Structure 1
Amino acid sequence: MKRILVGVDGSEASAKAARLAADIAVRFGARLTLVYVVPRMLLPPDAYGLTIAEVEKEHRAYAEKLLGDAVVKLDEPGLDVDSLVMYGAPAESLAEAAVAPDVDLVVVGSRGRGAVARMFLGSVCDRMVHISPKPVLVSH
């Protein structure tokens, strides 16, 4: 096994998925890549009184902090971990990253950031199972 992708979004479910993916990565000597996907905005930025550049800068800063914290929490001997920020629909972006030839597994949490978000955006987990070009492990 060469590389494992794990989607993180700051939720408890994604933290559990990252821990599981890290354990698998260490066991098989694989590299772990934590992926945060900045979702498309539902409203234009000017609805918030901000420019597109300001919104993108804030999202990027949030994503980098979240990923940095996740990397620190997972730090253990033998774990090779990096992170990636992507933009777009979460499931589609993860599936796109999974196309890379060195990716062998994608790990996702069974629940995202909240019931309302899941209702409106659909389940990333369910979508990934259907569109991923690589096997998907769903963490509970």
Structure 2
Amino acid sequence: MFSHILAGVDGSKESFRALSFALTLAKQFNGTVDAMYSIPPRIYAELAEREVKVEEPTGDVKFISMLQQEENHIRDLVQSYAEKEGISIGFHTRVGDPVDSMMEFVSTSKIDLIIVGSSGKGMADRLILGSVSTGIVHKSPVPVLVTKPES
């Protein structure tokens, strides 16, 4: 039924709830999952030039951008979720509008379901701030499942 699922992740608990659901479905239907982390351009500009000190397990010290540190952290979490379910996962990072990034990926892949989390914003917040999940629902050529936050 669903052989190739795309889950949007942004580091929030809602996005990881969506990822968990995607992995559960993929396991049930013997499918695959790709996770996409989209970095809005304003965040990229803000964090790409800032560096943090990282100590390697070998004791070596290096400096990486805060953006790279965040991406590594999210990738590691995504992979740990997938390992718990025994599923291999593709991880993709894009710089750009999250909705447009996901739609571009869907157009070049054989995705048959998108799963994203919702923060539970009200209508007024969505009108002012926008909503990735709402944008994906409106633009997606494939079914979209939006997970809601826990009550």
TM-based fold match above 0.5: yes
Gaps of 5+ in 2: 52-64
TM-score (norm 1): 0.79
* Counterpart for residue 132 of structure 1: 140
> C-alpha displacement at 1:43, in angstroms?
9.7
More contact order relative to length (CA 8 Å, sep ≥ 6)? 1
Distance 1:118 1:60, change over 3 A: farther
Write the distance in 2 (CA, Å) between the matches of 1:105 and 1:74.
17
Structure 2 vs 1, CA of residues 78 and 110 (structure 1 numbering), >3 Å: closer, same or farther? same
Supply the distance in 2 between the matched residues of 1:44 and 1:89 (Cα, whole angstroms): 13
Moved more, 19-28 or 59-68: 59-68
| C-alpha distance after superposition, 1:60-97 (max 9, x if no partner) | 33112212112203323541212111110111111111
Evaluate the alpha carbon distance shift between residue 54 and residue 4 of structure 1 in structure 2; reply closer, same or farther with a 3 A threshold.
same
4+ residue runs of structure 1 moved beyond 3 angstroms? 42-45, 117-121
1:42 CA drift (Å)? 6.7
Q: Share of identical aligned residues, percent? A: 32
SS of aligned partner of 1:34: strand
Q: Distance in 1 between matches of 2:132 and 2:83?
A: 26
2:68 maps to 60
Q: CA, structure 1 residues 55+77, in 2 after alignment: closer, same or farther (shift >3 Å)?
A: same
Unaligned runs of 5+ in 1: none
| Count of matched residue positions in the alignment of Structure 1 and Structure 2 | 131
Partner of 2:27: 26
**Bigger radius of gyration:** 2
Using the size of structure 2 for normalisation, the TM-score is 0.74
